[in-house]
Amino acid sequence: MKLLQGTLQPSGYRTAYLIAPEELDLFLLAGTGEILEGLDFALWWNGAWHEGRCLDGFLEETFVSYDTALRLPLQAGMLVRLPHYALEPDHLFELASAYVQELRYLPTKREESAEEVCSIAAGESTEVAVPVANEPSPVMVTISLSSDGDIRLLAANEPFLTTPPGDSEETDE
């Protein structure tokens, strides 16, 4: 598995409202259900956007602005603005091919008739098939894009995903 942090620039912004499901003791984004804790975002407050981060406080989640250290308790219905991250098909294939090469495979050129990978946005993931030399089937790489722009790559055949063989030696005691 490989994690790429801070390599992707936002392509714009998306807005959402906060919801607070009764069964959970935290705030989520309407539509996606994402948890805000630890994310950088902007909060609409008194007619202006305030950039900051959500922190889990003693009694409630609190928004803390970066510029003025303003602390605001979050409430359902508040409007937030988050960076919008997306990966296009060519970038997805480039990332997957580079990762497969790091795993010591020799990626080959993608065939024109190969199934096209769709673009993904924050919170989504997809599988990318990378054809490799001397292998009958491609290496499948799952690429996930988090809400903060981090990219996670995971190849289906990475060594830690397989179960090691049992100990063939019997111990006599």
Q: Report pLDDT digits (tens) over 84-120.
A: 899 999 999 999 999 999 999 999 887 654 566 788 9
Q: What's the pLDDT score for residue 99?
A: 95
Give me the chain's average pLDDT, please: 83
Instruction: Say if 77 falls within a structural domain.
Output: yes
Q: How many whole angstroms separate alpha carbon 62 and alpha carbon 75? A: 9
Indicate whether 68 and 127 sit together in one domain.
no
Predicted pLDDT of residue 23: 74
pLDDT tens for each residue of 160-172: 544 444 544 544 4
Which regions of the chain does DSSP assign to beta strands (E)? 2-4, 12-19, 28-29, 40-45, 48-56, 61-65, 71-73, 79-84, 86-87, 120-121, 125-130, 139-145, 151-155
Range of the domain at 73: 12-83
One domain for residues 19 and 77: yes
- 18 belongs to a structural domain: yes
pLDDT for the residue 58: 52
List of residues 6+ apart from 25 with CB closer than 8 A = none
What length is written for the chain?
173
- 79 and 93 in a single domain? The answer is no
Decide which of 83, 108, 136 is a domain's last residue: 83
- Average pLDDT of span 12-37: 83
155 in a structural domain: yes
| Whether residues 76 and 90 fall in one domain | no
36-94 confidence digits (pLDDT tens): 777 889 999 999 999 998 877 655 678 899 988 888 888 899 999 988 899 999 999 99
**What is the DSSP secondary structure assignment for residue 35, as one 8-state letter?**
B
Question: Among residues 83, 109, 135, which one ends one of the domains?
Answer: 83
> Is the residue at 3 inside a domain?
no
Given the structure tokens 């919801």, which residue do they identify? 19
**For position 49, which CATH number holds?**
2.40.10
Last residue in a domain, options 29, 58, 83: 83
Query: Same structural domain for residues 139 and 113?
Result: yes
Q: How many domains does the chain have?
A: 2
96 belongs to a structural domain: yes
Report yes or no on 54 lying in a domain.
yes
